[in-house]
């Protein structure tokens, strides 16, 4: 898809990311750096842990989901970063071999009063595994350029 | 510090992580995988971007901060994972060379009604840079084992 500016989004509009699969190697590599708990880095010990097996770090899942959203290309020229995330929930474990697809819904679009070149895009992101079970959800916000402020619009 | 179980925490108690420094190489490496926006991966192009220079992905900052919290060792044997995060805010950019220290405050401790071996620990995490400016804040929740449910307690 091509870049969209603030005016190009509509409340209620939905998008679906490409599917992305977690493998044990990537789960362990991420967690060794950022979340080295036994159930994220040691497949053998994890069998006796709270998830009865290796699971992806929630920080890994949320970042990988955001990557899939970026890969749609909608914000490629228009993103100005984001102020934060609300109600991030890790609903179910993500295990090696699980394939996630994320649904994005536009919830609110607001022009900035103080900065006429941009606005604020609010959207939900819910990731579902290959059994259509939700595994992660969050409310995300991105600052997005306005079309009329950009010559390439 | 040694592992703490649920009963070992007190509301209002605070902890401070070791300082951690971001360098451009790690910022770019993380963002190429999980948040490949120009201002996270291209130091030259980032000069003309919204942050006037390279900045760390917010997903990188939040994960690195959590790592620093784990490194205190308090939850090493007692963590059972977490259900999510609320009010995650990226307050100010984190740039190469910035050094962050995170303050953690215990906000709420609740025993699980349905599972007597555990409880729920609520805490805030606020990361400050080398100029004592807050750069990231969030409300985190971890499921924590109870001492009396553990023979090694």
Paired tokens of B73: 């060792």
- Asked if residue B79 lies in contact with residue B142, where contact means CB atoms within 8 angstroms, the answer is yes
- Predicted pLDDT of residue B151: 45
CB contact under 8 A, A50 and B81: yes
CB contact under 8 A, A64 and B143: no
CATH class of the domain comprising B6-22+56-149: alpha beta
Is pLDDT above 50 for B112? Answer: yes
Q: Which residues of B touch A89 (CB under 8 A)?
A: 83-84
Please give the interface size between A and B, counted as residue pairs whose CB atoms are below 8 Å apart.
87
- Which of B65, B71, B113 is closest to B91 using CA atoms? B65
Residue of A nearest to B85 (CA): A88
**ipTM value for the complex:** 0.95
How many Å apart are CA B6 and CA B109, to the nearest integer?
A: 8
This prediction has a pTM of 0.95
Q: Which residues pair with A137 in a beta bridge?
A: A89, A126
Domain boundaries, chain B: 6-22+56-149
- Predicted pLDDT of residue B148: 75
- Which of B138, B140, B127, B135 is closest to B55 using CA atoms? B135
Is pLDDT above 60 for B63? Answer: yes
Is pLDDT above 70 for A151? Answer: no
Architecture of domain A6-149: Roll (3.10)
């Amino acid at each position: 898809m091509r870049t969209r500016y603030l005016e190009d989004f509509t409340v209620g509009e939905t998008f679906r990311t490409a599917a992305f699969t977690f493998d044990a190697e990537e789960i362990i590599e991420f967690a060794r750096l950022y979340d080295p708990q036994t159930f994220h880095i040691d497949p053998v010990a994890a069998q006796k842990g709270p998830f009865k097996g290796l699971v992806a770090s929630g920080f890994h899942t949320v970042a990988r989901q955001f990557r899939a959203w970026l890969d749609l290309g909608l914000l490629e020229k228009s993103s100005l970063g984001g102020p934060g995330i609300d109600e991030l929930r890790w609903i179910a474990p993500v295990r090696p071999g699980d394939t996630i697809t994320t649904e994005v819904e536009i919830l609110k679009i607001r022009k900035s009063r103080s900065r006429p070149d941009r606005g604020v895009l609010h959207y939900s992101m819910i990731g579902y595994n290959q059994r259509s079970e939700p595994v992660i959800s969050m409310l995300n916000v991105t600052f997005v350029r306005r079309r009329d402020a950009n010559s390439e619009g």
